[in-house]
Amino acid sequence: MIKQSRNKRLLMLYFGMLFGLISFSCLLSSPAWAMREGETHVITLKASNLPSGQLAYQMASHKIKSKYGRIRDVTSRYVQRPIVPGPTIIMTEGDVAEITLEHDIEGSTLPVSLHVHGVHYKIKDDGTVKAMNGIIDSAAFPGKPYTYRWEAASGTAGTWPYHDHTFGNPMLGAEDKGLYGAVIVNPSSMEVTALIDGEIVDVDLDDVKREFVLWMHETTFWGAEINHILDGQQIPLWSNPTIGARLGELIRFHVIGIGTAFHTFHLHGHRWLEHGTSSVVDTVNIGPISRQTFVVEAGEGVGPGAWHYHCHVLQHMQSGMMGKFRVLE
């Protein structure tokens, strides 16, 4: 009887160890992104005036809260003043953003809002005038902030514009006055497909050194840099900027249309995969609210130098819609 009991204990111990080894093996073989828990971005944005007469969003606070309650304050990544284009909010599939918008536009009592493309939200977080009843019920007023909730659900990876949809013109809002910015939702795999050394490969986003967000608005480029060498520091570049990188660095471009004009974006000296296809291009069409995101290796095949980017629509280019991509040794 004692011998049977002992054998039973040994058998249970054996199966327990076997189950533990199998579980540990599965844990090791599972990709890291499969175990990732989404984070919550607690953000305060302000809509303000600029001395130029433009309007602009400002990042007042950005804190990231993990599932376990750990909080990281990343507000220092942003310049502490209103900028055009507005701050770029970076999320990963599975994340949630709770964004409080404050009305800080001097001399105006008109409502101001946030309307975002691409991510998920409920109707109360739409940021537009409800067409059925004409009521502005998801906007901020002076002294009365409004909080939106966005979900970067699975399948929403991409680069998405956000903009005002109520100020002055309930149909278009004040995006033409400067109230717009971008949300980058990274895939949970943290990998993107790119053309590197003539081959289509998966690129780990941790290897991307800089990202440039270039907005095509009427006859002007407006830009911002996200510098991952400096822990994701965001640097406003303003209009028709010269952008730069070191030879061989992996650079991610986000080209977005805003306003009502149609454009053709062209970058000299470099080629890339057209977003969502296997087509190799150096020119893409950009319409209102359309986007192209791609990765290039700076100076690949051409070396250091200054490479123009511009709109290929002749009237836009003649109006000065161009800048330089400077590649340094």
Distance of CA 211 to the CA centre of its chain: 10
Tens-digit pLDDT profile for residues 122-154: 999 999 866 545 566 789 999 999 999 999 999
What pTM was estimated for this model as a whole? 0.88
Residue 328 has pLDDT above 80, yes or no: yes
What's the confidence (pLDDT) of residue 9? 47
Domain residues of the chain, as ranges? 35-186, 191-328
What's the confidence (pLDDT) of residue 16? 47
Which of 26-30, 55-59, 308-312 has the lowest average pLDDT? Answer: 26-30
Q: Helices (DSSP H) in the chain: which residue ranges?
A: 2-29, 314-318
What's the confidence (pLDDT) of residue 174? 87
Distances (CA, A) of 204 to 32, 194, 209, 252: 13, 10, 11, 11
Tens-digit pLDDT profile for residues 153-191: 999 999 999 999 988 766 667 888 999 999 999 999 999
Which CATH number applies to 191-328?
A: 2.60.40.420
Which CATH number applies to 35-186?
A: 2.60.40.420
Mean per-residue pLDDT for 317-325? Answer: 97
Average pLDDT of the residues of the chain: 89
38 φ, ψ to 5°?
Answer: -65, 150
Do the domains at 35-186 and 191-328 have one common CATH topology? yes
What's the confidence (pLDDT) of residue 313? 98
